[in-house]
Amino acid sequence: MEQWIQLTIDGITLGGVYAVIALGYTLVYGVLRMINFAHGELFMMGAFGGFYTLDAFENHTTMNDSLPSLTIALAIFAGMGTSVILAILMERLAYRPLRHAPRLAPLISAIGVSILLRNLMLRWTNARRQVFPQVFPRGSIEIGDVNVTYIRIFLVALSILFMLLLYIFIQRTKTGTAIRAVAEDRDTAALMGIDVDRTIVLTFVSGAALAGAAGVCYAMYTTNAAAGMGFLPGIKAFTAAVLGGIGSVPGAMFGGYFLGLSESYSTKLIGAQYKDVVAFVLLVLVLIFRPWGFFGKREDRRA
């Protein structure tokens, strides 16, 4: 029994991370009908943004010791900032010039950006994993017979918080409503006086901020950062977004947790070595039987 509880906690932790990343895919898809294949690299670059910021403060151990929460917040904001700046550049240089090109062109451009960023970081780090500074207080609490580390609780809470903030932004603010309007009909949105280009940039920025924060937290959790770290979480979050119905915000959240839990339970049911396969089997199944996902609308899948 404890084992199942433990697996559920694992699944929720990981699922929250997937969900937060998946939101970036779904938001950008919503406004541009394009999969930003470089989104996983925004996650990775965010982790490095946090890493190098902490690195710069390394000698100030007094700060780490006396104010861990401040250090953690600093790392997260640095990661978000890094990803946001990169996303703005990415949109401006690699995607906007292709706005009116055939649909395949920006996809290929995105794959190019992804390869570029990954290789830049491979070179910069000499292809070595960087050990992420131990800023998060060690320790755990007991829930019944189950041990839950602080970092896990933090990860679960933070991902819920970020999702809530995003949901409020999209549903309750004027800019969020404009993002939904642009997603539905770009020309008509322009006729309302909405600056469509600016709204698209803001969409990238929102997704990137989430990815950057997720990157830093994931690196704290796994205690390292590496150039290739965006690949698997990126593609799994993409799977989560498709599971939920790409373009759908609640869908991405649902898909993230669904995938996290599926992966976690599968380690017990099928075997830990197949954990990564589960995501792809699910992706294939959804694409075959319900390509618009659980929350997506059928007509949203028009070419």
Partner 1 sequence: MREDAAPVVAQSAHLELDGVVSGYGQIMAIKGITLQVQTGEIVALIGANGAGKSTTLRTISGLLRPRSGRIGFEGERIDAVAPHKIVSRGISHVPEGRAIFSRLTVRENLEMGAFQRTDRAGIEADLDRVVGIFPRLRERLKQDGGTLSGGEQQMLAIGRALMARPRLLLMDEPSMGLSPVLVETIFNTIIDINRNGTTILLVEQNAAMALQVATRGYVLESGAIALEASAAELRASDLVRKTYLGEV
Which residues make up the interface to partner 1 (CB under 8 A)?
Answer: 174, 177-178, 180-181, 184-185, 187-196
- Count CA within 13 A, CB hemisphere, residue 65: 4
Q: How far apart are CA 54 and CA 49, in angstroms?
A: 9
Least distance between partner 1 and beta carbon 295 (Å): 12
Minimum CB distance to partner 1 smaller for 87 or for 181: 181
Least distance between partner 1 and beta carbon 198 (Å): 9
Q: How far apart are CA 2 and CA 91, in angstroms?
A: 46
Tell me how far apart the 2 most distant CA atoms of the chain are, in Å.
60
Minimum CB distance to partner 1 smaller for 180 or for 275: 180
Least distance between partner 1 and beta carbon 197 (Å): 9
Q: How far apart are CA 86 and CA 268, in angstroms?
A: 39
Q: Can you name the residues that pair with 143 across neighbouring β-strands?
A: 146
Minimum CB distance to partner 1 smaller for 55 or for 195: 195
Rg over CA atoms, the chain:
19
Asked if residue 94 lies in contact with residue 113, where contact means CB atoms within 8 angstroms, the answer is yes
Least distance between partner 1 and beta carbon 44 (Å): 33
Least distance between partner 1 and beta carbon 23 (Å): 17
Minimum CB distance to partner 1 smaller for 105 or for 196: 196
Asked if residue 140 lies in contact with residue 148, where contact means CB atoms within 8 angstroms, the answer is yes
Which three-class secondary structure state does DSSP give residue 143?
A: strand
Minimum CB distance to partner 1 smaller for 26 or for 83: 26
